[in-house]
Amino acid sequence: MKILIAGGGQTASLVAARLIREGNEVVLVEKDAERCRKLEESLDAKIVQGNAASIGTLRKAGIADAEMLIALTSVDQINVLFCLIAAVESRAKVRVVRLRTHEVEHWRRICREAGIQIDFVIHPETDIAERILRVVRVPGVSDILDFAEGRVKLFGMTVDENNWLANKRIEELDAARSREHGIIAMIFRGHQAIIPHGGEVLLPGDTIYVMTRTDDLDAAYKFMGLRTQETLERVFILGGKQVGIEVAQQLEEKGVAVKLFEQNAERCELISRILKKTIVIHADGTEESTLTDENIEGVSAFLSLTGHDEDNIMASLLARKLGARKVVALINRLNYLPMVQRLGITTTVSPRLTAVDRILRYVRKGRVISVTSFREEEAESIELIAAPNSKVVGKYLMDLKLPKESIIGAISRPDGEVIVPRGKDIIQPGDRVIVFALERTVSKLESVFLAERRS
């Protein structure tokens, strides 16, 4: 597939690298000459220097022949203009745009009523807010993701030395668990990603991902040694950017007492006009004296959501030391993620990985419903629909010749039944199958699931 990407920033570079690995022909349009040079050095793609809102530049980049268009510049207006030009200059079947404005819903409506075709709008602030609100009540959980239209959950957690899971073999846990306790689908140990099988031992400090039926989520938490907070009473938010405001608004609606720390006085005044109940504090929320004065000890959650990774990391460590029950750090640089987890900040959110995941669902093969990347794209979860004539249909899972570095996490039947699988379960035609694999195994895994038997 020929794909034209407007913008050459880090998110665009991540998306392009993945699409190129999938065998697509990628062209990027980027205004900055130095950034173009770096992209040419790092990507096997055509780089066109110029403005993505220029008709001449887009014609030079081959907009007329592109089959998919992705607008990822840092300026919303340029992204919308790119789509407007594409409405006339391109016959591309799929158009994806990223918008950062808080007026995203208005822009969705305007584009729809104006007849500007946009198949999917990525709004990172909304996505990040949703991910934070899913995990904020569970102190030991780093992430919660939905699959199979919400019938299946995946949650991440860190195994500490006091957890009963520590130093247990996977086969021991499999013998102790019932289906309602879920299945351990992935392990991250330092920089190593592991797809676990029977002899693997869980070590203190491991980050594990557990897949379970949504109805069994609390039972799975209990089995894994986790407890949820009955209520969220107080939440501190560091940073008055859009994502912080979005989270504060949603917490207000749930009756949570929120304090938001912002250093810019003018920004504080703006936030105070937007938020109805949140206490907006003009102060440096990375200072111990400030947090102590505002009574951080015992706060339900501390959400560090500034635009600076280093501030978010340091503030999260400080908040944990001062008694916050849950800390969440927004991290843009993917190479920071393993280090952050080793420091004990188990819950992180990454706008860039979220954008990559959202875009990938549009370029995978038709029976692939969703793709989710983990950490520095070391591992993926893939949700597929089993074709009637697929090689995996009708066989015991234990007899399937799947790549070693992969594991089936759940099977969701068309009638709504969800199976946390064991060796003698069978995949049926039309099942949604959620599979976990190391990145280097994904293409081989897809070929196994999507290839059909010869008649």
Rounded Cα gap, residues 372 and 380, in angstroms: 5
Rounded Cα gap, residues 187 and 339, in angstroms: 16
User: Cβ distance 211 to 185 under 8 Å?
Assistant: yes
How many other C-beta atoms are found inside a 10 Å radius of the C-beta of residue 429?
A: 13
Residue 363 pLDDT greater than 70, yes or no: no
Rounded Cα gap, residues 296 and 306, in angstroms: 18
**Strand order in 207-213's β-sheet?**
141-147, 152-158, 207-213, 183-189, 192-194
What percentage of the chain has pLDDT greater than the value 70? 96
> What pLDDT is recorded for position 305?
96
Rounded Cα gap, residues 326 and 343, in angstroms: 14
- State in words which class domain 142-223 has: alpha beta
Q: How many residues does the chain have?
A: 455
- Given the candidates 1.10.150.20, 3.30.70.1450, 3.30.70.1400, 3.40.50.1100, the CATH classification of the domain at 355-450 is 3.30.70.1450
pLDDT tens readout for residues 380-394: 888 888 888 888 899
> What pLDDT is recorded for position 304?
97
How many other C-beta atoms are found inside a 10 Å radius of the C-beta of residue 151?
A: 17
Over residues 165-169, the mean pLDDT reads: 94
Rounded Cα gap, residues 148 and 120, in angstroms: 20
Question: Which of 171-175, 195-199, 288-292 is the most confident on average?
Answer: 288-292
CA proximity to 160, closest of 226, 190, 204: 204
Rounded Cα gap, residues 183 and 185, in angstroms: 6
Rounded Cα gap, residues 95 and 4, in angstroms: 10
Q: Which segments of the chain belong to CATH 3.40.50.720?
A: 2-122, 234-343
Question: In terms of DSSP H, where are the helices of 139-213?
Answer: 170-176
Considering only residues 145 and 359, tell me which one the structure prediction assigns the higher pLDDT. 145
Domain 234-343 of CATH type 3.40.50.720: yes
Rounded Cα gap, residues 74 and 326, in angstroms: 31
Query: Is residue 446 packed enough to be buried (19+ CB in 10 Å), middle (13-18) or exposed (0-12)?
Result: buried
Which of the four pLDDT bands, split at 50, 70 and 90, describes residue 367? low
Q: Which segments of the chain belong to CATH 3.30.70.1450?
A: 142-223, 355-450
What pTM does this model have? 0.82
- Given the candidates 3.40.640.10, 1.25.40.10, 3.90.550.10, 3.40.50.720, the CATH classification of the domain at 2-122 is 3.40.50.720
Residue 371 pLDDT greater than 80, yes or no: no
Rounded Cα gap, residues 405 and 36, in angstroms: 36
Rounded Cα gap, residues 78 and 7, in angstroms: 10
